[in-house]
Every structure is written in C-alpha cells, then in structure tokens.
Amino acid sequence: MRRLRPFVKLLGAVVVVAGCGGRGAVTFSITAPSEPLLNPVAQPELVTEYDIRTASGNVIGIASAVQGSGSSGDGLLPLGALMPTMGPEDVYVTALTGGSTLGMARIKDVSISKGKTATYTAELRKPLVCVGAAMPAESASGNKTAAVQVIDPLTAADLAKQPSSPVSIAGMTAAASTWDGRFVVAANGNALTAWDTGSGKTVAGTLTLAFAPSRVVVAPRDQAIVALDPGSGADGSLAIISDVAGFVGSPGSANPKIVRMPGAIARTAAFSPDGSKLYVLTGGTAVDPCAPGATLTPNAIQVYGLDGSMTNMFALEGFAADVTVDPQSGAIVVADVAGKQIATLDPASGAPTKVLGNLTCPSAVRVVNGTVFAVTSDRDMPTNGFILQRVPLKGGASTATPFTGPNYNIPIDSMPSTNGDIGMALLPVRPVSIDAYELAVTPDGSRAEFATRAVYNEANTKFMFSGEDCTANFNIVEYGLFAVDLRTGNASYESRSQLVTQGKNDCVDCQLPSPFPDQVVGCQSTAGDKPAGLAATFGQ
Amino acid sequence: MRAFVASVVVMCAVAVAVDAHAEERRTVAVLEYRAGARGARDIGERLARLLRDTAALNVIDLAEARRKLPKVDAEVAKCGGEAMCVGAIGEQLGANEVLLVGVSQLGDTILALQRIDSKRGEAGARLAESLPADKEITDEQALGWLRQLFPPETFRRFGSIAVDADQAGAAVSLNGEPAGKTPLSEPVKVRAPATYKLRVEKSGYVPFQARVDVLPDANVEVHATLVRESKEVPWFKRWYVWATIGGAIAIGGVATAVYFGTRTDSTPLGYVMKPMP
C-alpha cells in the first residue's frame, strides 16, 4: 500500500487540475430594437426557445425560454456544454415561438474552444418582407406607385400601416437585405440608401448612381453590395460597393466601382455562399418569358469577382428566367424556361442537371433550407390556379402548392335591376400566363411573396353570350403581389394594376341579328403600379 | 469437474419477469399530431417504444390509445395543441401525462415534443427540433430528446436477484458488496439493466461465482450448489487466469480514460442572455 501512495497522490492531483482547469463560457447576448413594432421579442412571454446554429446548420445549442426552464435571475438561459468549433464560424441565432420564427441575428466569426470565455452580441431583428413599387412599362393615365410595404410574416400585417408606426421609407424600386438583417439596401430611382430594420428609419444620405438599379444584391457576410443596371442599349453595367458597413453608415460617402458589361444586360444576380463570386444572369428585365409570343434567346451567366473582374461565363442552352444559389451547398440553381425545368448548373462547365422537370415557364426560383421554391405557369385545372413547386434540392418528391390566379372582368353592356338585386353582367377572363419576376422567401420557408406579371391574351377567340356569337381580341397585363403561407397553403393576392395594351375600345365584339349593329365592348385599364424591390431579411 | 458443475448451476439461473415495480409507475400516453407533414413517419410509435424500453413508465402507444379511444387521432387534432384539451384525452386514456408529438413541415420536418399533465391540463417540458427531410431519425437521437424531456430518475430501472444455495449461512455478495447470508429473506433489488458478479461462499466450500445479467423489471433466480474444497488448485486460483483478467481490466481502464479524456464535459458552457426589458 505504501508503494501505491505516490501514485494515488498523483492521480488526485490530476483530478483536481482537470476539475479546476476552467472549461470557459460562451454567452450570446441578445439585443433587440426599442421600437415595439420592430422588436421581435417585444412580448418576451411568447419566446419559447433561442436556437443557436452555425451557418452550415449544425446545432450549437437550444436554450428553452419558457417559464420554469433553467433561467437564472440574471436573465441567463443555459445552453449546456458547447461543441468546440474548428475555427471562427458564422452563427445564426433564432428566437422561436413554437415552430415560428420571431426574430433572427447573424454573428460573424464565433469561436468556441475549451477554456474560452467570450460574449457575442446578437442583434435580433424580425424576418421582414419589404415590398416596394415601380412604374410599369405599360402606360395608363393615373399610374402611380403605392407606399412601401413592410410585412411581418408572423402576423401578415403591414408594419408601415400600423398606428404610430416608426416605419418611414419614401419609395423603393429595388432592394435587398444585408446579411446581418439590420438594414435593407433600397434603391429609389437612381438613389441608393439604407433602411434600418431596427429603427424603421432610412439612414441619412443617398448615393446617386448613373442608372436606376433593376436589382440590388448583397453578398453573404456583408462583403459587398451590387446594383444591376437595367441598361439603355445593348450594354449593361454593375455598381459594386465593397464597404457595406461604410455604406449603411453614410450612403452618400460610398465609392462604387462601375463594371461594364459589353453586349449584355443583367437580369438578376446571386452570390456564392462565401461571397467571392457573383453569378449574373443576363437577358435584361424587360423580357416576360411566360407571355404568349415572347421571343426568347438563350442567355448566359457571367461570373464576377468582388473586384469586378469577369472570371467565367456559362452560355445557357436556352432562356433562363432566374438564378439563385443554395446558401448551404453553393449549388447554382436556374429557372430554365426553355428546358421547362429547375436545374442546377455545373460550376465549371455550366452544364444543367434537372432538379424538377415538365414545368410550364418556371419564372422565379429560390432555395431555402435545402428546399427549392419555384413559381411556375403550370395550371391547377379546372380552377383559375397556378402552381408554386417545392422540391428538395438533393432530389425527391415535389410538393405543389396551388394559388388562385388573378382574373379580369370585362363589363358587358347591361343594366342592373332597379331593386339592386340583379347586377351588371361581367365576363370573367383568366390569364394565359404568369411571370413571377421577383420572389422572396422567409428564412424558415414559411412564407413566400412574389411579384407577378399576368397576361390576359385572346386572339380572335370565339364564344357565345346570351345566344349571340362573340369574338374576343385583347391583350391585358396585370401586375400583382402574391403572399403564400407555405404551412397552410393559403394564398392571398393584391392586384396592383390592370393595363390594357390591346382592345381598349373593342376587346369583345358580339354580333346581333340584323338590322342591329354589333355590340362592341372596350376593356378598361385600372391604373396603378407594379410591385418591385422584394426583400426578405435573413431570407432569400 | 467442479468448474463444470458451477457452470451448469449458472446456466440453471432462471430469469423471471416480474412487474414488482409497476404499482409505483406513472403512465404516459404518447399521442401524435400531424399538420399535413409526411416526414418522421413512425416517430410516435418509435418514441413510445423507446420510452417503454428505457424508462420506468407504463406507456400507452398510439395503437393502444386507438383501441381505447377509437377517435383519438381526430380528438387530438381538434385540440390544436391546447394543453387542457390534450390533458382531458390523457385522462380518458388513464394516463398521468401525455407526450404530445407534433409533426409539421416547413421545408424541413419540424418536430415538437411536449409533456402535458393530464389531470392539471398543464404543459411541461417542451422540445422542438428541425429535421432535414432527407435525414433519418436514429434511436440515439430520439432517446436524446426523451432524456431532455424527462428527469433522469425516469430512466432509472430496477430488477432483482433471488439467491438460493444448498448450504445455509453462505455469504452472498454482489459486485463485492455483501448482500446477506443464505437463505436470503427476499430478492436483492438492483439497478437494471446491468451485469452483476455474484459470489456465494462458505468456509470449506469452493466459492460459487456467476455473472448475472439483470434486465429491467426482471427477477433472476440463482440456485448455487457449493462443492466441498479439495487440495486440488481450482482453475480460478491459477496465476495465468488472473493475469488474463488483469490485462483485460488494464485495457478497459485505458479505454475509459480515453473516453473521459475526450468527452465534451471539458468544453465551454453556453448561455443566452435574454434582452433586458
């Protein structure tokens, strides 16, 4: 036993050192805006969990925030032992109420290691969807843009319209959220500025560009802002702002780099997950690929570095309407109108691989949490519906969520009854195509908002009305905004304008028996605007 | 020969399943509510099975709940997750509490587990997990959730060992701890599932040794036959037998040291500091 004593003493010392070595503590300190309308945790009793994950989706910890959980008096919620990170990693903090996201924060370069004690501030923001407005290309007297909407996806309420709302944005024709969700970079015509999602106010100053951006994109980790030039001839350009923090502090002081795109005009763009590559889809924004008779020429994806140098180009086999990048895998995903498919592109060759096929005019695509969301012109017959498709990016069964399409009513010359029981006669018309030219999906994939251009087009279409032979000839464009609750499938639609481009005076002609003349009905425009600048904070 | 006899005796050990602890147990009904989700298809049944296998609980699974209350799925769906309503269903099923398994789909499959006290209709511990659609749920993962939801004592289970010997006054020990002398008045209650080293010894007799595997809620009966000692050195007194056992213990020790040296107990603790009101 005496011989064993030194060994026992050594063992004891090892145990004591191990126990007192200090395992460290990492604290995620949550801060939230003081404005109650913009504060995701304004009602703390609604918060059930704080979910902490790395950008790649690995769970760091989940702290229960329900009453009676292990919260100490100083407001600390335990996460338990944390798995060490391999190095600095970006971390996403989500405040949840049940399965719904109340707020999010993104923190750069969090590192967790044995013995480390650190505090990281998580600036929580609501996952808002902002919707601006632009003037449509189709003219109509009385066209004017509506106020900017700031939608809270949890309640579907427009925060800009709430009593004593702090939200103040003069106008927004193109927009994108910063990676950290604290600002929305908003273009209003040629002016570019930032809207603070915490205060609801636009920061002081604007950057005036030589063009009115058709799209704005922000690189992951807020490495750059890129504004796309809609182009005035054959050539387009990009404006790259490398100092995002400087821009949101003082937009007027930003010094953008203008990159020329000879012979190409950008349609839309998306960044690679590391923010080092910008994939620009060419073809311009003027083309409605779903409209009847649209002339579609194959477009391309040009790849740019943050310094503005073009490093690669994929010539596509046909016309693609939209491009996005999966933030997790980095896969380049296109809405391939010509190939009637959603496809991923080989990052080296640009060769497409089908994710979902047999689609009618897939016009907008996003990838959220590994799921592809695509708006198509597939019809949900016999109702006046179109289809939003969801499919895992890695393959698998797709889920079709129908949404009721818009409709246009042609008033027929009729007289309502004097007692008001019998109304005017209306000919309901449904669109032949729908083009979702902008799409925003919330970070939890629970809500999709998309701006659409629907076309009602009939060319010498015969039908009968009240026993008379009638002929329809018209072309009407309708702009609107769809909001689809992807948990329930419920969809709502807001028509923003109905603009008649053909058939203003004679869209329906019904032949009456001789000697009566034909009854000719004209189609009337409803002036308005088109939704533009859809931006989902933390979303896609 | 004596070793052979001892082996035969060990093989004669009889495991008798008893439900001696049933009267102390709480009953949990595992009910499932799906909001149009197709993922995590068998999660309710699997959680019920894991609870039944690992916890000191009486478990009413979905099949049994449907037998008792044919419209239970519709009733649960009607509750919409409201604790008082779900608790009332638990009361009808004769359960002390309900483990409500909610499955919804938001791109990923969202799994929400909640304990609801049937009588009080109050929600207790709750856990939500987001599962990628293409990822299978493992038993380890599901068991991890149950261990987060239920207190550790729920997972402490017991069995018993009844020892009988042909010689009265023989000392009985389990894992080296004295457990009385034969005849034992009652079976020895032990933690389960576990393996115990049983030793029955009396002066002048070759000690009887056996390895006894005790399953939860099972009573293992062991009949020990003690054989008179002779001059011959029994196998277990030979040096090489103990050298082998010593080697095995050393390897086990190293493995244990590696395990404890690399486990995450030494990693930092995490906290979330809530925003100040």
Per-residue pLDDT of B119-155, as tens digits, reads 988 888 887 777 776 678 888 888 888 988 888 888 8
Contact (CB, 8 A) for A241 and A247: yes
Question: Does residue B54 lie within any of the structural domains?
Answer: yes
Question: Does residue B274 lie within any of the structural domains?
Answer: no
- Distance (Å, rounded) from C-alpha B181 to C-alpha A91? 62
Angle between helices B83-92 and B72-79 (to 10 degrees): 160
> Is pLDDT at A8 greater than 80 in this prediction?
no
Q: Which of B109, B126, B155 is the last residue of a domain?
A: B155
The residue among B147 and A530 whose pLDDT is bigger is A530
For residue B52, count other CB atoms closer than 10 A to its CB.
Answer: 15
Categorize the per-residue pLDDT at A21 as very low, low, confident or very high, splitting at 50, 70 and 90.
very low
Question: Does residue B271 lie within any of the structural domains?
Answer: no
> Is pLDDT at A439 greater than 90 in this prediction?
yes
The residue among A487 and A223 whose pLDDT is bigger is A223
**Considering only CB atoms, which chain A residues are within 8 Å of B264?**
81-83
Note the pLDDT tens digit of each residue in A48-91: 889 999 888 888 888 888 765 555 556 788 888 887 888 899 99
Helix/strand/coil for A52 = strand
- Distance (Å, rounded) from C-alpha B172 to C-alpha B210? 11
Tell me what pLDDT residue B22 has. Answer: 42
Tell me what pLDDT residue B14 has. Answer: 39
Q: Which residue has the tokens 């009453």?
A: A67
Asked if B106's CB is within 8 angstroms of A23's CB, the reply is no
Same domain, B150 and B179: no
> Is pLDDT at A13 greater than 70 in this prediction?
no
Tell me what pLDDT residue A528 has. Answer: 96
Categorize the per-residue pLDDT at A260 as very low, low, confident or very high, splitting at 50, 70 and 90.
very high
B104 at interface of A, judged by CB pairs closer than 8 A: yes
A71 at interface of B, judged by CB pairs closer than 8 A: yes
- Distance (Å, rounded) from C-alpha B124 to C-alpha B72? 21
A64 at interface of B, judged by CB pairs closer than 8 A: yes
Tell me what pLDDT residue B19 has. Answer: 42
Looking at residues B160-179, what average pLDDT do you find?
A: 89
- Distance (Å, rounded) from C-alpha A518 to C-alpha B184? 112
For an interface test with B, the pick among A15, A26, A398, A442 (most B C-beta atoms closer than 10 Å) comes out as A26
Output the CA torsion sign for A7, A12, A15, A18: negative
Same domain, B115 and B209: no
Tell me what pLDDT residue A274 has. Answer: 93
Q: Counting Cβ atoms within 10 Å, is residue A121 exposed (0-12), middle (13-18) or buried (19+)?
A: middle
Question: Does residue B7 lie within any of the structural domains?
Answer: no
- Distance (Å, rounded) from C-alpha A456 to C-alpha A477? 6
A390 at interface of B, judged by CB pairs closer than 8 A: yes
Degrees, nearest 5: CA angle A80-A85-A86? 160
Same domain, B134 and B237: no
Same domain, B147 and B169: no
Categorize the per-residue pLDDT at B258 as very low, low, confident or very high, splitting at 50, 70 and 90.
low
Which range, A276-285, A422-431, B98-107, has the best average confidence (pLDDT)? A276-285
**Considering only CB atoms, which chain A residues are within 8 Å of B105?**
487
Predicted TM-score of the model (pTM): 0.66
B185 at interface of A, judged by CB pairs closer than 8 A: no
**Structural domains counted in chain B:** 2
Same domain, B119 and B167: no
Note the pLDDT tens digit of each residue in A108-136: 999 988 888 899 999 999 999 999 999 99
Write out residues 477-516 of A within 8 Å (CB-CB) of B. Answer: 486-487
> Is pLDDT at A15 greater than 50 in this prediction?
no
B1 at interface of A, judged by CB pairs closer than 8 A: no
Residue in A110, A226, A230 with CA at minimum distance from that of residue A178: A226
Angle between helices B139-149 and B43-54 (to 10 degrees): 70
The residue of chain B with its CA nearest to that of A74 is: B273
**Considering only CB atoms, which chain B residues are within 8 Å of A66?**
126
Looking at residues B104-121, what average pLDDT do you find?
A: 81
How much of chain A is helix, strand and coil, in % rounded to 5?
5, 50, 45
Q: Which among A57, A76, A394 has CB closest to B273?
A: A76
Question: Does residue B110 lie within any of the structural domains?
Answer: yes
| Residues 6 or more apart in contact with residue B170 via CB below 8 angstroms | B181, B182, B200, B201, B202, B205, B208, B224, B226
Same domain, B51 and B118: yes
Q: Which of B90, B125, B155 is the last residue of a domain?
A: B155
Contact (CB, 8 A) for A63 and A75: no
What does each C-alpha distance from A479 to A171, A293, A410, B93, B224 come to in angstroms? 18, 19, 17, 55, 89
DSSP state of B207: P
Helix (H) or strand (E) holding B240: helix B239-262
> Is pLDDT at A302 greater than 80 in this prediction?
yes
Tell me what pLDDT residue B118 has. Answer: 93
Asked if B269's CB is within 8 angstroms of A82's CB, the reply is yes
What does each C-alpha distance from A211 to A139, A162, A239, A301, A306 come to in angstroms? 21, 33, 9, 22, 20
Tell me what pLDDT residue A417 has. Answer: 85
For residue B48, count other CB atoms closer than 10 A to its CB.
Answer: 24
A82 at interface of B, judged by CB pairs closer than 8 A: yes
The lowest-confidence range among A221-230, A467-476, A511-520 is: A511-520
Tell me what pLDDT residue B24 has. Answer: 62
Categorize the per-residue pLDDT at A38 as very low, low, confident or very high, splitting at 50, 70 and 90.
very high
The two tokens of residue B20 are 């001696």
- Distance (Å, rounded) from C-alpha A320 to C-alpha A297? 9
* φ, ψ at B87 (rounded to 5°): -60, -40
The CATH number given to whatever domain includes residue B108 is 3.40.50.10070
Same domain, B150 and B233: no
Asked if B275's CB is within 8 angstroms of A41's CB, the reply is yes
Question: CA A385 from chain center: how many Å?
Answer: 21
Same domain, B117 and B201: no
Tell me what pLDDT residue A67 has. Answer: 62
Beta bridge partners of A216: A227
Tell me what pLDDT residue B11 has. Answer: 36
The residue among A337 and A12 whose pLDDT is bigger is A337
> Is pLDDT at A320 greater than 90 in this prediction?
yes
Rounded to the nearest angstrom, the minimum Cα separation between B106 and chain A is 6
Asked if B107's CB is within 8 angstroms of A487's CB, the reply is no
Question: Does residue B267 lie within any of the structural domains?
Answer: no
Asked if B269's CB is within 8 angstroms of A81's CB, the reply is yes
Residues in chain A: 540
Mean of pLDDT over chain B: 80
The CATH number given to whatever domain includes residue B218 is 2.60.40.1120
Residue ranges of domains in chain A, CATH in brackets: 25-123 (2.60.40)
**Considering only CB atoms, which chain A residues are within 8 Å of B128?**
48-49, 62, 96, 98-99
Tell me what pLDDT residue B262 has. Answer: 56
For an interface test with B, the pick among A371, A373, A391 (most B C-beta atoms closer than 10 Å) comes out as A371
Amino acid at the residue A408: Y
| Residues 6 or more apart in contact with residue B125 via CB below 8 angstroms | B114, B115, B148, B149, B150
| Residues 6 or more apart in contact with residue A43 via CB below 8 angstroms | none
**Considering only CB atoms, which chain B residues are within 8 Å of A48?**
126, 128
Beta strands in A339-414 (DSSP E): 341-345, 352-356, 364-368, 371-380, 385-392, 399-404, 408-411
Same domain, B165 and B148: no
Mean of pLDDT over chain A: 89
B147 at interface of A, judged by CB pairs closer than 8 A: no
Residues in chain B: 277
What does each C-alpha distance from A219 to A241, A255, A256, A417, B195 come to in angstroms? 10, 17, 15, 61, 59
Note the pLDDT tens digit of each residue in A147-191: 999 999 888 899 999 998 999 998 999 999 999 999 999 999 999
Percentage of chain A exceeding pLDDT 90:
64
Same domain, B135 and B199: no
Question: Does residue B211 lie within any of the structural domains?
Answer: yes
Same domain, B166 and B207: yes
- The range of the structural domain enclosing residue B231 comes to 156-261
B203 at interface of A, judged by CB pairs closer than 8 A: no
Q: Which of B119, B137, B155 is the last residue of a domain?
A: B155
Tell me what pLDDT residue B39 has. Answer: 75
Helix/strand/coil for A265 = coil
Amino acid at the residue B93: L
Degrees, nearest 5: CA angle A344-A345-A349? 160
The residue of chain A with its CA nearest to that of B104 is: A487
- Distance (Å, rounded) from C-alpha A32 to C-alpha A203? 18
Tell me what pLDDT residue B12 has. Answer: 37
Same domain, B135 and B187: no
Tell me what pLDDT residue A4 has. Answer: 45
Question: Does residue B51 lie within any of the structural domains?
Answer: yes
> Is pLDDT at A469 greater than 70 in this prediction?
yes
